[in-house]
Structure 1
Amino acid sequence: MDFLSDTVTLSRMQFALTAIFHIIFPILTTGMGIYLVVIEGLWLKTRNPDYYLHARFWAKFYVLNFGVGVATGIPLEFQFGTNWAPFSDAVGNFFGSVLGFEASWAFMLEAAFLGIMLFGWERVNPAIHYIATILVAIGANLSVVFILTANSWMVTPAGGDLVDGKFMVTDYFQALLNPSASTSVAHMFFATFETSLFVIGGISAWYILNDRHAAFFAKTLKLVLAITLIVAPLQIYVGHISAELVYRYQPAKLAAMEAQWESSPAGKPADWTLLALPNKKTEKNDWEIRVPGALGYILEFKKNLSEPVLGLKEWPPENRPQALGLIYYCFRIMIGIGFFLAGMTLITALQWLRGKLSDENIAKQRWLMRAWMFSAPLGYVAVETGWIVRCAGRQPWTLYNKIRTVDSASHLPATNVLTSLICFAIVYALLFMSYLYFGSRIIRKGPNFELPIPGVEANQPAINTTPGQFVPDERPIEAQQ
């Protein structure tokens, strides 16, 4: 229990708690924002009332996640001033400005147009409303750009150097466009989008499985599937590029991710451990399942790598990532989920081609609907484990190879940090229970099919009498208007 008196460890635990909890909610807003743009665009194009009702229904989940995300995100950024003041003082001229862009550009853009998106359906022109939805989605995803840019800079610092303990920026755009920035942004973008798609698909599968508006939610599931057929393979490809960047810029992290203790020289086949149990004390794996020569194919699609694969023994123990088991297995969990979700997409697409997802047959695919429900939270697990690998793998550095974590923490009494950590844990537990309560209430209540459709008079005969079955309005244009 020595960690209870270690301010640095407690500050790291507090930041990990707040970051792991907070990220749950922006994941859905960034991904679902794009989905809402798609679904509202389909409504404007086809005037199918189902798409309008879908947009109104899924927007409820957006605002729920937005609200909790704001509440949990503000304390996260304040910790840079309270718990990590030396780090903020050293890198604030760049790192602080990027986080400031996220708040003033991305968050304010999203917040400014959110009210129009939620409450402007019958108050503004449909085109104006659609522009508001697009701007909300842009704002949410701009947050990904700025936050991942700042975090990538911590991994591959560029654009300046440390001078008397402060990072002096000589090329601001070089710092923004640091070597891992674009790939990291793309990786997180696809991660949030894919996770959101599987959440939407999983909830839709629950309705279908319970025979509640099956045809209505089958439309959502098929749309999600069509998008995921593109997103899932792209995410795997971008993830592969990310691994190549780790190989090039963070060799110690790669060694931890692959439990490699011994170096493999250039031109020699590098082995890959499918599973292993790394042991820091003995500096070897207690057991392992090794695939000879496979790491070369994984990293560069060829057997012999052009550069050596360095083992953990190349660095002194104090310069190695410490949480080896955590890094190693979180990395494999993330990869396993990525391939599982891609496989789910492929299997469902085959069922669609076989006619099993028609309105008459989809409710009979009970095993497939259960699989989609099971898949709904897996994207969250993949994102969380990915961030653990990213941040724990950067240790013992806050700014990679420049500022150590132990030198980045504020000099606070350990009891103060422990007290705030406990308070955060209690408040976040209450927030999470409230989130689950309101989220489940939205699901139980379901869509409101009594909502008036913009552009359709209240006393006009219903064109779409059964949810999920769209009957085109064949009246003259004058009558429709």
Structure 2
Amino acid sequence: MSDLALTLARIQFGFTISFHIIFPAITIGLASYLAVLEASWLKTKNTVYLDLYHFWVKIFSLCFGMGVVSGLVMAYQFGTNWAGFSTVAGSVTGPLLTYEVLTAFFLEAGFLGVMLFGWNKVGPGLHFTATLMVAIGTLVSATWILASNSWMHTPQGFELVDGKVIPVDWFKIIFNPSFPYRLVHMVIGAYLATALFVSAAASWQLLHAKNNPSVRKMLSMGLWLILLLAPLQAMIGDLHGLNTLKHQPAKIAAIEGHWQNPGDEASPLVLFAWPDMAQEKNHFALEIPLLGSLILRHSLTEQIPALKDFPAADRPNATIVFWTFRVMVGLGLLMILLAATSLWLRFKDKLYNSPPFQKFSIAMGPAGLVAILAGWYTTEIGRQPWVVYGVLRTADAVTPHTTAEMALTLGLFVVIYLALFGMGTLYVLRLVKVGPKTGEALQGDAISINRNELDEFTLAPEFHPDNKKPATADSKTEQQTNPDKKDN
């Protein structure tokens, strides 16, 4: 197989998985958010939470469907484009993906129908249980997927027999050295991406004069979560980096754009540069002395790995991972800035009437997803030239297709994906633009609930079916919820 065909195969896999990552990341976050909303409604009887649930469940269902479709393509590619990988390592990755289907996917699918269509068919307790099970299912799914992927980075618990991987210890396979860090990092990333999405949607409504209790509530909830998770993600990322330094030092050298260690000097931190793989040096480098050793070694004397410490054939593409890593970190810092600014505005009682902040929040809406993609590229490209680190090279894992075949299928994927998922994404954004409606559960636009359930939970008079006077944002609802104080 030619080098160009191999490159096209890698691009095709990267292209399809980029679409697939986006939708499950949003569904992981939205599923938990919906569970929190329904629990809050059951506890407080505040219909604002109910309105938000019925608004976001529509977006969740769309993203869930697109995630399932894109995931099916990923599974087929293991057989069509990566037969060598399936032959050598399928005895590990196959069962792990099967466990994901048997546990997480069946759990999600089993309760999804009740969650979407069960409001007028089951009691409130059972419906909340269904929502909670779907949320748990998304997390279980992430656990199995990250276990499989992490094993490819830090493989253990197996033997090689006749060139094939034979599992000998499933506990070690699942709980491989990088698994805990990758799982926590990914789940927090999904929650952050969702919180940024929710906050951006609310900011859009506020910026366009759609100020109501539901909008203020979802902005407040999203920003609180960002304030909690953005700094935590930075700490988890540091621990993940130390783990990568131990098990994949060549990846760290590429991320840092660090080519060599002269003498016994501590390693600098390369802030910005253009790593040149051919000339084995950096162009336009801006460095801070000693800081590389301080961050990665927590020392002012120990050096970090250098790319020239590894054979050229074993080096990742530093030109790419150097910048994808900095995109991820830069967006993470902006998330922390957004959260800190929101806290200051809360203190000043200006959170809901600051157009510059609302524009900042809208601009940060896709930042979580972009950061996830940038981190994923850093992780996967940084593992190269191995598909199973130290065990199976990528060049030996690919199916021997011709360049023309790979170019044709890649072109078809691009056209079909942009058309299919492009339309789906545009529809999601159209729903976001409309925003949540006051009393949406009673208007028939979302999942319906019956009158008995409404009576049981003692809705406010303006939401009661017998009340013929339509509720508005300026009526009793706004007075009851007192959003200027309680939404904080």
TM-score, structure 1 as length reference: 0.92
Deviation at 1:286, TM superposition (A): 1.8
**Residue-by-residue CA offset, 1:146-200 (whole Å, 9 max, x unaligned):** 1111111010001023221111212111111000001100000000000000000
Q: Aligned AA for 1:451?
A: A
Which among 369, 379, 403 is matched to residue 414 of structure 1?
A: 403
Does residue 335 of structure 2 align to residue 341 of structure 1? yes
Listed one character per residue, the Cα deviations across residues 263-293 of structure 1 (whole Å, up to 9, x for unaligned) are 378x852211111111122211122111111
1:127 corresponds to which of 125, 128, 131:
125
In 1, are the aligned partners of 2:40 and 2:49 still within 8 Å (CA)? yes
Partner Cα distance (2:306, 2:94) in 1:
35
Give the whole-Å Cα distance in 2 for the aligned partners of 1:155 and 1:264. 29
Asked if residue 311 in structure 1 is aligned to residue 300 in structure 2, the reply is: no
Residue 471 (structure 2) pairs with residue 471 (structure 1): no
Partner SS, residue 167 of structure 1: strand
| Deviation per residue, 1:394-439 (Å, 9 max, x gap) | 0000110111000001122332222221111111010132113311
Q: CA RMSD in A?
A: 2.0
1:445 CA displacement? 3.4
Q: Alpha carbons of 1:140 and 1:450: their partners in 2 closer, same or farther (altered >3 Å)?
A: closer
Q: Which amino acid aligns with 1:370?
A: K
The aligned runs of 1:281-360 (5 Å cut-off) are: 281-305=278-302, 308-321=303-316, 323-357=317-351
Q: 1:367 aligns with which of 328, 334, 356?
A: 356
1:145 paired residue among 128, 143, 146 = 143
**Displacement, 1:215?**
3.4
Q: Percent identity?
A: 34
Q: Tell me how far apart the structure 2 counterparts of residues 231 and 444 of structure 1 sit (CA, whole Å).
A: 26
Structure 1 residue aligned with 2:44 = 46
The aligned residue for residue 441 of structure 2 is 451
SS in 2 for 1:270: coil
Tell me the distance in 2 between the aligned counterparts of 1:261 and 1:446: 51
**How many residues matched?**
461
Contact preservation (8 Å) 1:86, 1:410: yes
Answer yes or no: is 1:427 the counterpart of 2:416.
yes
Q: Is the CA contact (8 Å cut-off) linking 2:212 and 2:478 kept in structure 1?
A: no
Give the equivalent residue in structure 2 for 1:479: none
Residue ranges of structure 1 left out of the alignment (5+ in a row)? 473-481
> Relative to 1, partners in 2 of residues 1:346 and 1:280: Cα closer, same or farther, differing over 3 Å?
same
Which AA in structure 2 matches 1:436?
A: T
Mapped partners of 2:245, 2:469: distance in 1: 60
Contact 1:95 1:150 (8 Å CA) reproduced: yes
- Distance in 1 of aligned mates of 2:262 and 2:348: 48
Shift of residue 254, structure 1, vs aligned partner: 0.5
Aligned-partner residue type, residue 288 of structure 2: V
Cα distance in structure 2, aligned partners of 1:264 and 1:54: 58
Match of 1:270 in 2: 267
Q: Quick check: 1:113–1:136 contact (8 Å CA) kept in 2?
A: yes
**CA-CA distance at 1:462 after TM superposition:** 7.5
Q: Quick one: which amino acid aligns to residue 471 of structure 1?
A: Q
For the 8 Å contact 2:158–2:173, the answer to whether it is kept is yes
Q: 1:226-269 CA deviation, whole Å, 9 max, x = no partner?
A: 2222111111111111111111111111110001110378x852
SS at match of 2:375: helix
The CA distance in 1 between the partners of 2:393 and 2:149, in whole Å, is 15
**1:477 aligned residue:** none
Residue 204 in structure 1 maps to residue 202 in structure 2: yes
**Shift in alpha-carbon separation, 1:159–1:263, aligned structure 2, 3 A:** farther
TM-score by length of structure 2 reads 0.90
* 2:242 aligned partner, one-letter code: E
Provide the rounded CA distance (Å) in 2 between the counterparts of 1:95 and 1:19: 16
Do the aligned partners of 2:50 and 2:441 also contact (CA within 8 Å) in 1? no
Q: Does 1:386 align with 2:375?
A: yes
- Return closer, same or farther for 1:239/1:386 CA change in 2, 3 Å cut-off: same
SS in 1 for 2:113: helix
2: CA distance between counterparts of 1:471 and 1:351?
23
1:50-65 alignment runs, 5 A limit: 50-65=48-63
C-alpha distance in structure 2 between counterparts of 1:48 and 1:470, whole Å: 12
1:154/1:400 contact within 8 Å kept? yes
